[in-house]
Amino acid sequence: MSKRLIRLSLMITLLLLMLPAAAQDMGELVPTITVHSVTQAERPIEYETTRLVVENMRELGLDVEHRAISLLQFFDETWYSRVEGEGRVEQPFQMTAWRMVGRPERSEPDEFTYNLFHSSVRDGGYNFIGYNNPDYDALAESQRVETDIETRREIICEAQHVIRNDMVNAYFVHPLTPQLVNTEVFNADSVVTEAGIGVQNFWNWINIEPVGDERNIITATTSNLNVLNPLEIAGDSPSRVTEIVWDRLMRINPDGFPEPWAAESVVWEDDTHVLLTLREGMTWHDGLPVTSADAAYSFEAALAGKMKTNDDGNEFFRAEAQDYYPFARNVMDIEIIDDLSLRLTLETPSGAFETSTLSKLNLIPKHIWEPIMNDLIADDGADVDSIQEEIPIGSGPFKFVAYDVNEFALLASHTDHWAAPKADGWLMNVLPNLEAMLGQIQSGEMNLLWEWPSDPAVLKEIADNNEHLTLFTETSIGFQYFAFNLRYAPFDDVTFRQAVAHVIPQQFIIDNLYSGIAAPADSFVSAALQYWRQCDAPLRSYDFSIDGARELLASAGYSWDDDGRLLYP
């Protein structure tokens, strides 16, 4: 090469180096982002929170659409549409408002620690965001087998730090559960509140004591009941039904700890063998006896499935009862000893087994469910969420009388149960209209309001103005958050997710949308579970700051065009 050409080449290089960085590194425009929520009428606070965050995301130079849709469509477009080409819509979701509700078994942190984030449940379980981190998987697995509670707490603390740093979910509140009880209908002293749950708990349903002519618990939900079967977790409202229709071997007591229930005794023979003895005299609602064969089959059904082939030609196992499979998968062997006794052998020790499995799985009648599961396994396309019995049969303290998943569920006391309810019946109506719900609790058409997705201050004012209504509150185990689909850009970038977290005005949401009746959230472990939050170091903070979010994006190589639109690195 001649000296002249060399000089020319050097001059061009110097000129390129002198150009602004944006001209050299300008990437493609970040495309439109759709953020899902339910409608304002169904869940006003979630709707308003989403609308607020969407406006703040636009301040980052993003084109953001808020897609508010009905609850059923919402599930179709988020939960059932994880991967492109699957589910009921053409494109997977990107970002969605979401909530995990407080259930008794969630007072044990394993359910969230493992089932929200472990990579094994990305396709069909709770990990609908698609998180895949081998280091996190190792933590989730190790806390499961650790039987020393102090060591286990340290592992769960580390897991909380990983999730917070990776910002796979942007938590903002643990709601306080404002709930109204008509204390002219029920003895106020008989109302049972459960730690992290409130009054919508199993113990309250069976112990609340009528004091007058009205002998039924009458409540309501804003959500359709979807599916009412014991092998499907179809949401918060259906869970209120299933927990009282089907018994469980153990139950979480009002203080948040497991205790024997349908199993009269639970004896650990060593770290991996547990001997269960059922109560005598239990019957299914059709009159047949509950036996150890039924208990064994309850595990077998949760573990049942078939081999399938993915698009790459590789075989994989798909559980029929995908919601319950993670809770049963550690059971390696089941030995029926006699009509009331059975022994479970675990593959590995489990510090959470009593809570996450024995208190989680519903006991189901083998004579009803074995033929159903056999047909499902033979049908390549079906799984358990497609099953709805005409009149579901359990053994719990309430039994079905009638139902319409879009309208109501009517239950009656199972008077032969050893813990028969004090109330004669239990009715849950589907009332999507919040004004109708408020009208019914004040008029006496409803006597227990446990679900309230709008301004909590409204219920406080109603209690103050109605002597027959008493307000109960409890910090929830559950939480509200924004979920990101980590499978696709831009949410596959941790820095982008962290920037979005900085535009969620947490304290403004608590003060103005929740009227102060909420606790700030920064983890999947609730502030109500104080023991599991005793970590050596505080979790990473994402203070509200539009400028801070922009600086974070710039530091990762993002830039903006002349119109202020955000560009990829």
243 domain residue, yes or no: no
Whether residue 426 sits in one domain with residue 366: no
Q: Do 330 and 346 touch, CB atoms closer than 8 A?
A: yes
List the one residue out of 84, 65, 74 whose CA is nearest residue 38.
Answer: 74
d(CA 453, CA 218): 18
Q: Read off φ and ψ for residue 23, nearest 5 degrees.
A: -70, -30
Partnered with residue 223 across adjacent β-strands are none
Within a domain: 229: no
Residues 135 and 182 in one domain: no
**Peptide bond preceding 490 in cis form (omega within 30 of 0):** yes
Residues 383 and 258 in one domain: yes
Tell me how far apart the alpha carbons of residues 377 and 535 are, in angstroms, rounded to a whole number.
45
- Considering its fold, how many domains does the chain have in total? 3
Where a domain ends, among 426, 444, 474?
Answer: 474
For residue 427, the model assigns a pLDDT of: 98
Predicted confidence at residue 196, as pLDDT, reads 84
Instruction: Give yes or no for a contact between 24 and 16, defined as CB atoms under 8 angstroms apart.
Output: yes
Question: Residue 123's pLDDT is what?
Answer: 80
SS3 assignment, position 501: helix
168 in the same domain as 181: no
Tell me if 25 is assigned to some domain.
no
| Same domain, yes or no: 505 and 531 | yes
Whether 374 is in a domain gets the answer yes
Same domain, 212 and 330: no
Does residue 313 sit within a domain? yes
Classify residue 26: in a domain, yes or no. Answer: no
Residue 328 burial (CB count, 10 A) = 21
Q: What is the pLDDT of residue 90?
A: 54
379 and 253 housed in the same domain: yes
CA distance 434 to 47: 14
> Do 39 and 152 lie in a common domain?
yes
- Show the domain range for 188: 177-222+397-474
Give the CATH number, domain containing residue 545. Answer: 3.40.190
Predicted local confidence at residue 389, as pLDDT? 92
Find the CATH number of the domain harbouring 205: 3.40.190.10
> Are residues 481 and 354 part of one domain?
no
pLDDT at 71: 86
Pair (203, 171) in one structural domain: no
pLDDT tens for 392-435 read 999 999 999 999 999 999 999 999 999 999 999 999 999 988 99
Is 89 inside a domain boundary? Answer: yes
pLDDT in tens, the chain (569 residues): 455 444 545 444 444 444 433 333 468 999 999 999 999 988 899 999 999 999 999 999 999 999 999 988 998 888 887 775 444 445 689 999 999 988 877 888 888 999 899 999 888 788 999 999 999 999 999 998 888 889 999 999 999 999 999 999 999 999 888 899 999 999 999 999 988 889 999 999 999 999 989 999 999 999 889 889 999 988 889 999 999 999 999 999 988 889 999 999 999 999 999 999 999 999 999 999 999 999 999 999 999 988 877 777 788 788 888 889 988 999 999 999 999 999 999 999 998 899 889 999 999 999 999 999 998 888 876 778 889 999 999 999 999 999 999 999 999 999 999 999 999 999 999 998 899 999 999 999 999 999 988 888 899 999 999 999 999 988 888 899 999 999 999 999 999 999 999 999 999 999 999 888 889 999 999 988 888 999 999 999 999 999 999 999 999 999 999 999 999 99
**Is residue 234 in a domain?**
no
Number of H helices, E strands in the chain: 18, 23
What is the C-alpha to C-alpha distance for residues 18 and 7, in angstroms, rounded to an integer?
17
Verify that 322 and 355 share a domain, yes or no: yes
Tell whether 218 and 312 lie within a shared domain. no
